[in-house]
Amino acid sequence: IPRKRRLSRARFEGIRSGNRASSPSFSVVFGVPGEGGCAVVVAKAVAKRAVARHLLKRRVFAILKPWSHGDQPFIVYVKKPATTLPFRVLQEELAGLLSRTLR
């Protein structure tokens, strides 16, 4: 996802209090429609090593690519069960969660 489609940390505060949707591996917070964008958060409690956190972020950003062009900003929080799932399962779960809430 290009940098211009990612949320900056300054915009996190306005979105954190938005609507939430969750699944076993993800929690998504949606902001007010307007200027879109997305962000992925992988906490150190989810994956201890930076390599594992960055791998999860890259995988989730790859899944979010078709969803990032809308006008509604959102933040994806990755949960612990996502660390053991293959990419295909992550893709199905996150795409299902986003399709139920965004479209």
pLDDT digits (tens, 9 = 90+) for 5-33: 888 888 877 777 778 899 999 999 988 78
Does the pLDDT of residue 58 top 70, yes or no? Answer: yes
How would you class 30 by CB atoms within 10 Å of its CB: exposed for 0-12, middle for 13-18, buried for 19 or more?
middle
Question: How many CB atoms sit inside 10 A of residue 11's CB?
Answer: 16
The angle formed by the CA atoms of residues 37, 41 and 42, to the nearest 5 degrees, is 155
Question: How many CB atoms sit inside 10 A of residue 66's CB?
Answer: 10
pLDDT digits (tens, 9 = 90+) for 79-103: 999 999 999 999 999 999 988 887 6
